[in-house]
Amino acid sequence: MTMTARQIAIAPAAQLPLTLDGAYRRASSGALRPTPVGRVGLELEFHLVDLDAPACRVPWARLIDVIDGLPALPGGSRVTVEPGGQVELSTAPLEHVAAAVEALRLDRAALGGVLREHRLGLACVGADPARPVERSNPASRYAAMERHFAAVGDGAAGRAMMCATASLQVNIEAGPRAQWPRRVSLVHQLGPVLVALSACSPLLAGHASGWRSMRQQVWGEIDRRRCGPLLVGEHPEDEWARYALSAPVMFVRDPLTGTAAPVTEQVPFAAWASGAPRLGGRCPTADDLDCHLTTLFPPVRPRGFLELRFLDAVPDRWWGALAAIAVTLLDDPVAAAAAAAATEQLDGAWTAAARDGLADPVVGRAARRCAEIAAARCPAGLAREVEAYAELVADGRVPGDELRARVAATTPLAALEEYARA
C-alpha cells in the first residue's frame, strides 16, 4: 500500500514510514528512563486448571466469560490471559517491594475466590507439569507468533514458551542515568543466581529433562537474537537498539484492522527499515517498531524500566520472598555491593543455573551467599519470609524440589491439581 502525499500529511506520526536511523533513535531513546531507584512492579502468571477436569485446558469462551465478569481488584492489578490460557496479574509500579507484594497478594486472593466459584484453580509453578502444550488464546498475534516459530525452526520451543510456562516478573527502575551501566551489568551478573533460586519447573507436559528450570531450558532453545541476553556495555540503551534492530520481525499488523500476519523468513527489523524487503507491502512505522519490541524476550528487557523476565513462578508461600530477594539484591546499595562480590565468578552461567540449580558448585555457593545477604537487608515486613527462603536454600533446596517430590509421590497431573487447589 503506497500512501499519497495527503495521507502522509494527515497520518499520525507513529504511522509514518520509519528510516533505519529513526528506528535506532526510537529504540535507544525509549530503552531506559532516568528515575530514582525504589519503585517496583510485579507480574505473576498462573496455570489455570479446571478443578473438575484437570487434564483438560479451560475452553477459551468459558475463560473469557469469567475474566470479563471480574470486579475491579482491591490492589488495582490488571488481569490478562496468555496464549495457553495462563492468567497473569500485573500490579502498577508501587513505592517499594513490600507494597507491590501486598497489592499482588490482595488481588491473587480476590481472583482466586472468584475463580473457585466457577470451579477453577490457579497453579503457580514455572511450567505446566502435566498437560500437553496447546494454544487456546485465538488472538491473531499469538497465531502469527506460533506460525513464525514453526517456520524458522523454533516451533516446539516457541509453542511451549507461549503456552506452558509461567513466571514471576519483577520490574525495577533504571535509576539515574549515571547508574545505568552498573545496574544493567549487575542484574545480568545476578541473573543466574536468581534463576537457580527460583527454579520451579522440573517437568513440562509430563516429561522431565533433568533441568531444574525447564522453563529456562525452553527459552534457551529459541533464537538468541530474540531471547538471548543483551551485551552489557557503557551505553545499555544503545545495546538495546542494536539488539532490537538485529532481531527478526515476527509478524506485521494490518494498519487498518490490527490483524497480525506472520513473517515466515528471518528478516531483521534493520533490513525492513532499510527498504528491502517491504513486509506487508510497505515500509515500517514507529508503531511497527513498538510492536516488534514486544516480541523480544531477553532475560532483562529495557522498557524505560528494567524487566526481570527470568524467574520461574513459584508457589504462593514463596513468591513474595523471591520478589523481595531480587529487589533487595539490586536496589539496596549495601546488599547490591555484597551480591556483586559474591557473583563475580558466574559470568553468564545462565545454562548451568537452569540445568543444575544449586547443585552446580559455583552457582550454589553464590546463591546461598546472596540469599543470606537478602535476608539481612530485606524490608522488615518481608523479613520472616525471606529468612525462611534463605534457610531453604542453605539446606540445598528451592521450591521446585517440593514439586518434584510431589510428582514422584503421585503423578504430574495430581501435583498440578494439588497446586491449583491450594
Q: What pLDDT, on the 0 to 100 scale, is given for residue 12?
A: 61
- Give yes or no for residue 55 having a pLDDT over 80: yes
Three-class DSSP category at 155: helix
- CA gap 400, 215 in Å, rounded: 12
Confidence class of residue 69 from pLDDT cuts 50, 70 and 90?
very high
**What would the mean pLDDT of 66-71 be, rounded to a whole number?**
96
Confidence class of residue 10 from pLDDT cuts 50, 70 and 90?
very low
**What would the mean pLDDT of 150-160 be, rounded to a whole number?**
97
- Give yes or no for residue 332 having a pLDDT over 70: yes
Q: What pLDDT, on the 0 to 100 scale, is given for residue 13?
A: 64
**What would the mean pLDDT of 237-244 be, rounded to a whole number?**
98
Query: Does the predicted model carry a pTM greater than 0.85?
Result: yes
Q: In the CATH scheme, what is the code of domain 40-136+145-228+299-416?
A: 3.30.590.20
Instruction: Give per-residue pLDDT as tens, 164-196.
Output: 999 999 999 999 999 999 999 999 999 999 999
Nearest to 293 by CA among 307, 281, 280: 307
Q: What pLDDT, on the 0 to 100 scale, is given for residue 4?
A: 43
Q: What pLDDT, on the 0 to 100 scale, is given for residue 1?
A: 33
Q: Is 57:85 a contact under the CB 8 Å cutoff?
A: yes
Instruction: Give per-residue pLDDT as tens, 103-145.
Output: 999 999 999 999 999 999 999 999 999 999 999 999 999 999 9
The dihedral over CA atoms of 256, 262, 264, 270, expressed in degrees to the nearest 10, equals 60
Q: What pLDDT, on the 0 to 100 scale, is given for residue 405?
A: 97
- CA gap 355, 202 in Å, rounded: 10
**What would the mean pLDDT of 231-259 be, rounded to a whole number?**
95
Mean pLDDT (the chain) is 95
Domain boundaries, the chain: 40-136+145-228+299-416
Confidence class of residue 14 from pLDDT cuts 50, 70 and 90?
low
Q: Is 222:154 a contact under the CB 8 Å cutoff?
A: yes
Q: Is 310:220 a contact under the CB 8 Å cutoff?
A: no
Q: What pLDDT, on the 0 to 100 scale, is given for residue 16?
A: 84
Instruction: Give per-residue pLDDT as tens, 261-310.
Output: 999 999 999 999 999 899 999 999 999 999 999 999 999 999 999 999 99
